[in-house]
Amino acid sequence: MNQSIRLKPPLSDEDVEKLKIGDRVVISGIIYTGRDAAHKRLFDLLKEGRPLPIDLKGQIIYYVGPTPAKPGQVFGSAGPTTSYRMDAYSPFLIERGLKGMIGKGMRSDEVKEAMKKYKAVYFAATGGAGALLAKRVKKAEVVAYEDLGPEAIRRLEVEDLPVIVVNDVRGNDLYIEGEKKYRTSP
């Protein structure tokens, strides 16, 4: 099997330019969580010209709303959320320096164009593997929007979080290419 590419945020243009669809990646370091409610608040701040509660430059946002952590655990189940729910907001965050997003499912053409223009990538995490993914979280703290509960923005320290590149900076899409590869003729 191919060896995984190791990434440690914050990511640079060079980090994301070397990635291509289908690459297996393991992420270690600091990433942030955020789902639709948090994205809407970030979007509104940007539209008002106000500062964000986190610096997006070079960062990765994981679309996850964890379950409560069990005793002795750092983080609850950490399965990815369907990403299209963030598509209305993602191009604005990418334009402000966001370099990576982790979720599941396809992205809109507008998000893919923003990834090409501003050099960002979209990773998929394995849905249904939330308990296993949670074991990769070594520290977690709420850094914004605590009132959103599981959807608050959290700063996570992760170790070897496994993901796959779905959309790269060249506009390629693993879901589309995979479908073409395995499509059968009628």
Share of the chain above pLDDT 70, in %: 97
125 given a catalytic annotation: no
The model's pTM is: 0.94
Judged against a pLDDT cut of 70, whether residue 186 lies above it is answered with no
In eight-state DSSP terms, residue 171 is -
Q: Which of 7, 38, 39, 78 is catalytic?
A: 39
CB 117 within 8 A of CB 27: no
Q: What is the pLDDT of residues 109-140, one digit of tens each?
A: 999 999 999 999 999 998 888 888 999 999 99
Helix (H, G, I), strand (E, B) or coil at 18: coil
What are the contacts of 145-152 at 24+ separation with CB within 8 A? 145/37, 145/38, 145/41, 145/53, 148/37, 148/38, 150/65, 150/66, 150/67, 150/76, 151/34, 151/35, 151/36, 151/37, 151/38, 151/65, 152/33, 152/38
Instruction: Give the residue among 44, 47, 2, 25 at the shortest CA–CA distance from 168.
Output: 25
Domains detected in the chain: 5-182 (3.20.130.10)
- Distance CA(62)–CA(124), nearest Å, equals 10
pLDDT value, residue 165:
98
